[in-house]
Amino acid sequence: EAGVAQSPRYKIIEKRQSVAFWCNPISGHATLYWYQQILGQGPKLLIQFQNNGVVDDSQLPKDRFSAERLKGVDSTLKIQPAKLEDSAVYLCASSLSPSGSETQYFGPGTRLLVL
């Protein structure tokens, strides 16, 4: 079974530039999550999708971050404009359902450095 795929793996940009990350979840997984992991901290949930609808985006900085999941499969996360404090690893995860009893499967992450 193929895992969660993410690209790019690394990205270096200057502040005020824009950047986009892509995620392809495990086939058949209805729920998709984006997390931000700052160095030395645990991942923090940014947004959760159920199929192509948003379940929770309460911790997404909506003035600069946006995400979409068209057709309920792949998802993109965009930052525009980027700030220095956005330097982090962005992890995508998926699960069969949002029931709370399902394991979330994580991709390898995209490591972003904002200069």
Partner 1 sequence: KQEVTQIPAALSVPEGENLVLNCSFTDSAIYNLQWFRQDPGKGLTSLLLIQSSQREQTSGRLNASLDKSSGRSTLYIAASQPGDSATYLCAVVSGSARQLTFGSGTQLTVLP
Tell me the three-class secondary structure of the chain, residue by residue. Answer: CCCCEEECCEEEECCCCCEEEEEECCCCCCEEEEEEECCCCCCEEEEEEECCEEEECCCCCCCCEEEECHHHCCEEEEECCCCHHHCEEEEEEEECCCCCCCCCEECCCEEEEEC
Nearer to partner 1, 56 or 74 (CB): 56
The reply on whether position 53 binds partner 1 by CB under 8 A is: no
CB of 56: closest distance to partner 1 in angstroms? 4
The reply on whether position 44 binds partner 1 by CB under 8 A is: yes
Nearer to partner 1, 27 or 101 (CB): 101
Judged by CB under 8 A, the number of residues near partner 1 is 26
The reply on whether position 96 binds partner 1 by CB under 8 A is: no
The reply on whether position 7 binds partner 1 by CB under 8 A is: no
List 12, 55, 113, 115, residue binding partner 1 (CB under 8 A): 55
